[in-house]
Structure 1
Amino acid sequence: MSTAIKNIIFDYGNVIFAIDFKRVQQALKDIGINDVDAFYGHLQQDPIFDLLERGQITAAEFRARIRERAGNPDLTDEQIDKAWNSILIGIAEGNHDLLLRVKEHYRTFLLSNINEIHYNYIMDYLKREFDFEGNDHLFEKVYYSHFTGLRKPEHALFKRVLEENGLEASETLFIDDSPQHIASAQQLGIQTFLMTAPDTLQKYFERNGLLG
Structure 2
Amino acid sequence: MIKTIIFDFGDVFLDLDKAATKRELERHAISDFSEEILQKNREYEMGLLSSEEFIGTYRSNYPQLTSEAFTKSWNAILLKFPEHRLSFLKELQKEGKYKLILLSNTNDIHIDWVKENIDFFEDFKNCFDAFYLSQEINLRKPEHSIYEFVLKQHGLKPEETLFIDDTPENTKAAAELNIHTWNIDPATEDVVDLFTIKKELF
Same fold (TM over 0.5): yes
Shift of 1:46: 1.2
**Aligned mate of 1:163, from 146, 152, 157:** 152
Give the 3-state SS of the residue equivalent to 1:88 in structure 2: coil
The amino acid that maps onto 1:58 is S
Q: Give the Cα–Cα distance (whole angstroms) in 1 for the partners of residues 138 and 41 of structure 2.
A: 13
Q: Give the Cα–Cα distance (whole angstroms) in 1 for the partners of residues 39 and 126 of structure 2.
A: 33
**CA, structure 1 residues 134+84, in 2 after alignment: closer, same or farther (shift >3 Å)?**
farther
1:121-176 CA distance string (max 9 Å, x none)? 112223xx33x436431111100000001101111111111111111111000000
Does residue 101 of structure 1 match 2:91?
yes
The amino acid that maps onto 1:164 is Q
Q: Which residue of 1 aligns with 2:130?
A: 141
Give the 3-state SS of the residue equivalent to 1:133 in structure 2: helix
**Aligned mate of 2:193, from 191, 203, 208:** 203
1:76-126 CA distance string (max 9 Å, x none)? 222111110010001123000111122222111000000010011112223
Per the normalisation by structure 2, the TM-score is 0.90
Give the 3-state SS of the residue equivalent to 2:139 in structure 1: coil
Equivalent residues of 1:32, 1:71 under 8 A apart: no
Q: Which residue of 2 aligns with 1:118?
A: 110
Q: Give the Cα–Cα distance (whole angstroms) in 1 for the partners of residues 179 and 198 of structure 2.
A: 18
Higher mean C-alpha deviation, range 188-197 or range 19-28: 19-28
Percentage identity across aligned positions?
34
Equivalent residues of 2:167, 2:183 under 8 A apart: yes
Q: Which residue of 1 aligns with 2:31?
A: 34
Shift of 1:209: 4.7
**Aligned mate of 2:5, from 8, 28, 43:** 8
Q: Which residue of 2 aligns with 1:42?
A: none
Q: Give the Cα–Cα distance (whole angstroms) in 2 for the partners of residues 201 and 189 of structure 1.
A: 21
Q: Which runs of 5+ in 1 are unaligned?
A: 40-44
The amino acid that maps onto 1:115 is N
Shift of 1:33: 1.6
Per the normalisation by structure 1, the TM-score is 0.86
Superposition misfits of 4+ residues, deviation over 6 angstroms? none
Equivalent residues of 1:10, 1:175 under 8 A apart: yes
Does residue 69 of structure 1 match 2:58?
no
Q: How big is the alpha-carbon RMSD for the aligned residues of Structure 1 and Structure 2?
A: 2.1
Please list, as runs of the form range in 1=range in 2, the aligned pairs for 1:84-99 lying within 5 A after superposition. 84-99=74-89
The amino acid that maps onto 1:195 is I
